[in-house]
A and B are shown apart, each in its own frame.
Chain A
Amino acid sequence: MTNTNILTVENLNVRYGDFQAVKDVSFDVRKGEIFGLLGPNGAGKTSTLSAIEGLLKPQSGTVIVDGHNAREKPLHVRASLGVQLQSTSFQAELYVIEVLQLYAGVYGLSLSKNDIRAILREINLEDQAQKKFGELSGGQQQRVSLVIATIHNPRLVLLDEPTTGLDPQSRRQLWERIEAIRDRGHAILLTTHSMEEAESVCDRIAIIDHGKIIEIDTPQAIIDRHKNEPEVIAVSRRGKITLEDVFIALTGKEIRQ
């Protein structure tokens, strides 16, 4: 892994009316790295991602993607990003092959039907090419969403809770695909609620709560740093300290809306 930053976020602040969703958030994502953003519901994960994607205008702060400042060159930033939103849907009337053609076009690629069939073959969905997106299973939809997010070979891939609602087989398969994307030299920023996912696939993680980053490091380093704290030991359920124990101790046990 090199130390080349593909994404740099500095002092990001996002506000909705009187509510400050993101407070002075700073982090970077390096080339060939899977970076996880963890936090309870409403912690500011999706707001941070939305600010990077350009879907909302931050109150202040800097977002630089592959050397492009998001305020100055928003189209360059979006062209450098591959995005899988939390609740993405595609035009219900279009066939899978047509959805891929649409997104190839909006990223400026000229792909023939054969090229697209080859892409679908890679994700074992060639036989679903003439089905509508809504007719696919959850796992198949996620595979299509992921392949669309990376169709233009972006430097940075943003995945907002990519495995939510998937069965263990589909989830495991998606992790392998995410790792394969990383191994091709992309940087990946994903948000997740799953500590298992964070430990299994993320090279580094940041824990965000109430809009602030409260920890940032490798999963193991964060566990090691907190494993002897009384609060962590108190919430531990199985004796061995896990990332989830540390997460619960740092963010609290109360249920968030």
Chain B
Amino acid sequence: METIIPKTSVVLSSLLKADFTTQWRNRRAVILTLVVPVIILMTWKGMIGAFGGPFVLSNSITIGLFASGLMGYANTVARDRDKGIFQRLRVAPVPSWAIMISRLMVQLAMIFLITTAVFIIGYNYDGITLTPSAYIITYFTAILGGSVSLSLGQMIVGYIKNPETVNSTTRLVYLAFILVGMLGELYLKQLGEVWVNVVKLSPYGAVKTILSAGMEPAKWNADTTAALLVTIGYTIVFTFLGIKWFKWNTK
């Protein structure tokens, strides 16, 4: 009897269907991911005059990306690994990369969903509009920003095996990023230039900077380019460590 190796396209399509169905059934968690960005859009309406629409939109998207990459992706991977779901897939003729690609495709869809939701609410509630090219560039910078949060999530789930510890760690990191990146930019300027740079070059700050600049391409400057390079650097380092440390099982 001939051994049939399934086509990668068939395997990937089955994995994608299962992963997207799983995400759909977890839509309550998806809605929670959008809660904080929406709150920012609504409560910061009064700041648009002083800081501009891109400032509000970029902070909202950044928060959404980190919520999705850290708390969504990392916790799902930690839970599924703990339950042996990955191991069961790995004893089938499925390349390991296909398992992760399928998961990442779901996250890519989440990045588009978050960005689109922020654009729609930003337009309808806050009256923020961007040029068509700015909308398109922002989708690309959102993918870059999303890759930082996903790779950071991968690094955490690689380093920590226990799903409860992954859950609490990602929440702490998320909170720290909000404090350092968002509030830091608003309130720490009086502490000096060094702190401002720390905040700007933190993962949150760098992602927020490229998102904001993508919404106003004319304002792209050396600081933005530095933030872009830092974003790529974070992604490379976090991904390298995340893959190096990652184990498919918790034993």
- Cross-interface CB contact of A75 among B83, B88, B93, B248, cutoff 8 Å: B93
Q: Which residue from A79, A92, A98 sits with its C-beta under 8 Å from B3? A: A79
| Chain A residues in 8 Å Cβ range of B83 | 87, 89, 92
Which of A105-113, A193-201, A219-227 is found at the contact surface with chain B?
A105-113
Is A155 part of the contact surface with B, judged by Cβ < 8 Å? Answer: yes
A31-48 contact mask (Cβ, 8 Å, vs B): 1 or 0: 000000000000000000
CB pair A108 B6 closer than 8 Å? yes
| Chain B positions 63 through 107: 1 when the CB is less than 8 Å from some CB of chain A, otherwise 0 | 000000000000000001001110111111111000000000000
A91 touches B91 (CB 8 A): no
Known contacts A55-B90, A106-B89; A91/B5 CB under 8 A? no
Query: Are A105 and B17 interface neighbours, CB within 8 A?
Result: yes
Give the shortest distance, in Å, between A141 (CB) and chain B (any CB).
12
Partner of A105, one of B11, B25, B84, B249: B11
Among residues of B, the one whose C-beta sits closest to the C-beta of A108 is B6
Instruction: Give Cα A77–Cα B159 distance, bound, in whole angstroms.
Output: 31
Q: Knowing A79-B6, A89-B84, say if A106 contacts B91 (CB, 8 Å).
A: no
Task: Say yes or no for B133: interface residue by CB 8 A criterion.
Answer: no
Roughly how many angstroms separate A86 CA and B93 CA in the complex, as a whole number?
Answer: 19
Which of B18, B91, B93 sits near A85, CB closer than 8 Å?
A: B91
Q: Residue-by-residue, is A144-168 near B (CB-CB < 8 Å gives 1, otherwise 0)?
A: 0000000010010000000000000
**Known contacts A102-B15, A105-B13, A108-B6; A78/B21 CB under 8 A:** no
B88 touching A93, Cβ below 8 Å: no
The verdict on A81 contacting chain B, using a C-beta distance below 8 Å, is yes
Contacts of A106 in B (CB 8 A): 6, 11, 14-15, 89, 92-94
Contact indicator per residue, chain B 18-33, by CB within 8 Å of chain A (1) or not (0)? 1001100110000000
Let me know if B93 and A107 touch, CB within 8 A. Answer: yes
Query: Does B50 sit within 8 A of A, measured CB to CB?
Result: no
Contact B84 A155 (CB under 8 A): no
A210 within 8 A of B: no
Residues of B close to A108: CB separation below 8 A: 4-7, 10-11, 93
Given known A88-B88, A91-B85, A155-B1, contact A78–B93 (CB-CB < 8 A): yes
* Contact across chains for A105 and B14 when beta carbons are under 8 A apart: yes
Within 8 A of B (CB), among A63-116: 66, 68, 75-76, 78-81, 83, 85, 87-94, 98, 101-110
Q: Considering the chains assembled together, what is the distance between the CA atoms of A103 and B85 in angstroms?
A: 12
A245 proximal to B (CB < 8 A):
no
Known: A76-B3, A76-B5. A103 touches B87 (CB 8 A): no
Chain B residue contacts of A76, Cβ below 8 A? 3, 5, 93
A85-B88, A91-B80 known; A102 vs B4 contact (CB < 8 Å): no
- What chain B residues lie within 8 Å of A155 (beta carbons)? 1
Of B15, B18, B26, B92, chain A has the most CB atoms within 10 Å of the CB of B92
Q: Is A138 an interface residue (CB 8 A)?
A: no
Within 8 Å CB of B4, what residues of A? 79, 108, 152
Are A54's CB and B91's CB within 8 A? yes
CB distance from A6 to the nearest CB of B (A): 11
CB closest chain-B residue, reference A75: B93
A88: chain B residues within 8 A (beta carbon): 84, 87-88
Given contacts A85-B91, A102-B15, A106-B89, contact A79 B5 (CB under 8 A): yes
Tell me which residues across on chain A come within 8 A of B85, comparing CB atoms. 89-91
Q: List, in ascending order, chain B residues with CB within 8 A of A101's CB.
A: 14, 17
* A87-B84, A90-B85, A107-B6 known; A98-B93 Cβ under 8 A: no
A53 at the interface (CB under 8 A from B): yes
Residues of B within 8 A of A104 (CB): 14
Please indicate the chain B residues that have their CB under 8 angstroms from the CB of A102 in the complex: 14-15, 17-18
Indicate if the CB atoms of B21 and A93 lie closer than 8 Å: yes
Q: Given that A98-B21, A102-B15, A105-B13 are contacting pairs, would A55 and B87 also be in contact in the complex, using a CB cutoff of 8 Å?
A: yes
**Given B26, B248, B249, which contacts A93 in the complex, CB threshold below 8 Å?**
B26
- List CB contacts (< 8 Å) of A208-254 with chain B: none
Task: With A106-B6, A106-B94 given, name 8 new contacts (CB 8 A).
Answer: A55-B87, A55-B90, A55-B91, A66-B3, A79-B5, A101-B17, A107-B92, A108-B93
For this complex, 11 residue pairs linking A to B, each with C-beta atoms less than 8 Å apart, are A78-B92, A78-B94, A79-B5, A83-B91, A90-B88, A92-B83, A98-B18, A105-B10, A106-B89, A108-B4, A110-B10
The interface of chain B, by Cβ under 8 A from chain A, is: 1, 3-7, 10-11, 13-15, 17-18, 21-22, 25-26, 80, 83-85, 87-95, 248-249
